[in-house]
Chains A and B, each alone.
Chain A
Amino acid sequence: MGEYTLAGQPISKGIGIGEIFVYEEHGLELNRGNVQEDQLLNEIEKLEKAIAKTLYEIDDLKASFSKRLEKDEWFIFDAFRSMLQDEYFIEEIKDIIHHERYYAENAVDCCIGGYIKAIESSGNEYAMQSIYDMNDINARIIRNIIGDDQSKVMLDKISKKHVVGVRHLNLTLAATLGKRKISGIIYEAGAGYLSHAAIILRGLGIPAVSGIKFEDVKKIEGASVILDAEQGHIIINPVDTQVGEYKDLHKGGARRSSRLLFRRNKPTCTSDGYKVNISASVGSFEECESAGLKNVAGIGLVRTEMLFAHYKNFPDEQEQYAAYLRITKKMGHRPVMIRTADIGGDKQFDFLGSVDSSAVRSTRGIKYTLTNKEMFHTQIKSILRAGSGGNIAISFPMVDTAEEIREAKKVISRSMQKLLDEGTPVKKKLKIGAFIETRQGVDHLESILHEVDYVTIGTNDLLHQMMGIDRKKAASLRGEYLHPKFLRVLKYCIDKARKNNKPLNICGEIASDPTALMLMLGMGAVSFIVNPSKVEEVNDLVKSLNYRKIKELAEKALICKAIDEVKDLVIRFGR
């Protein structure tokens, strides 16, 4: 059969390309008869085991999502836990088993059924929402009492190439499938747009469409499909060109919707109309959210190592993908520059185990990841995937030589090829940049510029290295960046980048220090990456400055001999 479409309603946006897997839960056959007197204790034991097993399953789901989702999104699992640990509820079921001589599954069903009836009689729409959760937990306990190995076997066959079709989607099924990193979900009934299941799928970035008849889905088992959860339909047996178009359209869609967003963000200008680009540096989704609301040009730096700092193990591709996707989605069309993990050396994290402490700059940043290629590939792949619908760039930390960039580019092209072979949508054309934050990097700036689309000067590390200070003891360095020697290094970088026609960003504390920012601007820097909490302050400062005047100020500062001379100059300028 040729290409055709089935339409439903979009529940979780995105595009999924894969093959249909039909997941059918078998009907629950409850024994409604009576138990023999001597079997009652056996039923109680079955109940207790099933409750414990269900609790274990819920804990497992909660654990796998608590790191990937916001607390608000996974807190529902705590509600499920509370039900399973509700001693009044458990006692009530046991009473029913004893007094009515019901089988355990029937007792559970009657007990929860009674509660559901009570809610229904309240006739309140909001209260009705919890009925879904109660039905969900009811079915789960019952499955664990009567045993349902078939579902488990079927679940194990599901992989990320699948668009899974189900009849009825509830929270635990959405979570169980979500954990399996699938390409998408289509279902006939259940989870509405505001349901907990839908919230979780959106949080995980798994596209979902509801209202697709299960009987229709069963007929297309194994067929290749495009799940277009932007529009709310699936295309069955798409032609190859359509698949390609879809990947492009997906990107285009993201651009279209965020053009509106961009209009709200006017560029910041000095009082004499000199345009300045202010972007944010973030290390968590919360920071990104706060930055997203502000007048920022984009995210100039995602400190990926911070996103995962509390992890015990280095996050897998899906965990990273979900984290990056949330950020790119939040920012819409605005650019997001994701920096690969800056770890190693003195930047230690739990998941790295112990590392030789004498190895500091020589094994940090891009060098660390180039010698730990598996970790690097995983990260690059997840960034490429998350970027497929957004405006992303990849930055590499602690770049010393052009050779390192060439090597990193090979990793990117290998990762991209692998994803394309799998048919996964990726960001094909992306900009790459280097963090220049070592003396070696400055020395090789010219050749590095030839390999990248932009550079970012990591002023904190650069200053510390030039002043010979450990970054952990750097608190005392405040203000040292006004040193004329350091200013001249920055001026050298700014001029080099301009000569090579490549954008340069200034990052680090210096970018939000009013005095230093003034000098940087005067020296010709036009793009700054600052902490989200500083965005407004920096915006206001820039608007108050006159470019012509600070240019003169910077020229004078650059020929100073000592730091005190620079400070004097700035103080006098302030008056």
Chain B
Amino acid sequence: MITKDILVKNESGLGSKQAAMLIQKVSGYKSAIWIEKEERKANAKSLLGLLSLGIANGMKIVIRAEGEDEEQAAQELENYFNSGMGEAV
């Protein structure tokens, strides 16, 4: 199991488009991946689950991955968040 703390920095946060792109990124991994915000968590492969977290600019979240390719999966997600998910940070 691997966890990463992330600070969301792009303007729109995790909106429909950003979440859809995130799913395209994680869908290839075998590991189970979750995104946590405060006490709530969502499966990173479920768009509605991700959207229901209401992740916005400036929020702190945790990426949690578990499985054979957990390291790469968490790394790719971290990069995605840090790059601003297609927007300027």
- A75 at interface, CB cutoff 8 A: yes
Contact of A130 among B11, B16, B23, B24 (CB under 8 A): B16
Residue-by-residue, is B1-26 near A (CB-CB < 8 Å gives 1, otherwise 0)? 00000000001111111011101100
Contacts A124-B56, A126-B12 given; does A88 touch B51 at CB 8 Å: no
Within 8 A of B (CB), among A120-143: 121-127, 129-130, 133-134
* Residues of chain A lying within 8 A (CB to CB) of residue B15: 126-127, 129-130
Residue-by-residue, is B44-82 near A (CB-CB < 8 Å gives 1, otherwise 0)? 011111011111110000000000000000000000000
Closest to B19 in A: A79
Contacts A83-B47, A89-B46, A126-B15 given; does A115 touch B57 at CB 8 Å: no
Residue-by-residue, is A67-92 near B (CB-CB < 8 Å gives 1, otherwise 0)? 00000000110110111001111000
Closest to B54 in A: A122
Provide the bound-state CA to CA distance between A81 and B48, in Å.
11
Q: How far is the CB of A138 from chain B (nearest CB, A)?
A: 10
Q: How far is the CB of A115 from chain B (nearest CB, A)?
A: 4
Q: How far is the CB of A133 from chain B (nearest CB, A)?
A: 5
Within 8 A of B (CB), among A46-68: none
- CB <8 Å contact, B56 and A89: no
Closest to A133 in B: B16
* Residues of chain A lying within 8 A (CB to CB) of residue B11: 126
Contacts A75-B17, A133-B16 given; does A122 touch B47 at CB 8 Å: no
- CB <8 Å contact, A112 and B48: yes
Provide the bound-state CA to CA distance between A133 and B40, in Å.
22
- CB <8 Å contact, B20 and A78: yes
- A119 at interface, CB cutoff 8 A: yes
Within 8 A of B (CB), among A409-427: none
* Residues of chain A lying within 8 A (CB to CB) of residue B52: 114-116, 118-119
- CB <8 Å contact, B55 and A86: no
Provide the bound-state CA to CA distance between A127 and B12, in Å.
8
- CB <8 Å contact, B17 and A134: no
Interface centre among B12, B16, B19, B21 (most CB of A within 10 A): B16
Contacts A75-B20, A76-B16, A79-B20 given; does A127 touch B55 at CB 8 Å: yes
* Residues of chain B lying within 8 A (CB to CB) of residue A116: 52
* Residues of chain B lying within 8 A (CB to CB) of residue A121: 54
Provide the bound-state CA to CA distance between A200 and B51, in Å.
22
* Residues of chain A lying within 8 A (CB to CB) of residue B20: 75-76, 78-79, 81-82
Closest to A84 in B: B47
Contact of B51 among A81, A115, A123 (CB under 8 A): A115
Interface centre among B47, B49, B53, B57 (most CB of A within 10 A): B47
Contacts A82-B47, A88-B43, A112-B48 given; does A126 touch B13 at CB 8 Å: yes
Q: How far is the CB of A303 from chain B (nearest CB, A)?
A: 29
Provide the bound-state CA to CA distance between A133 and B17, in Å.
10
* Residues of chain A lying within 8 A (CB to CB) of residue B23: 82, 86
Provide the bound-state CA to CA distance between A123 and B56, in Å.
10
- CB <8 Å contact, A88 and B54: no
26 contacts between A and B (CB under 8 A): A75-B17, A75-B20, A76-B16, A78-B20, A78-B24, A82-B24, A83-B48, A86-B48, A89-B47, A114-B52, A115-B48, A115-B49, A116-B52, A121-B54, A122-B54, A123-B54, A124-B13, A124-B54, A126-B13, A127-B51, A127-B55, A127-B56, A129-B16, A130-B15, A130-B19, A133-B16
Q: Identify the A interface with B (CB < 8 A).
A: 75-76, 78-79, 81-83, 86-89, 112, 114-116, 118-119, 121-127, 129-130, 133-134, 196
Q: Identify the B interface with A (CB < 8 A).
A: 11-17, 19-21, 23-24, 40, 43, 45-49, 51-57
Nearest 6 pairs between A and B by C-beta? A122-B54, A79-B20, A127-B54, A118-B52, A88-B46, A79-B16
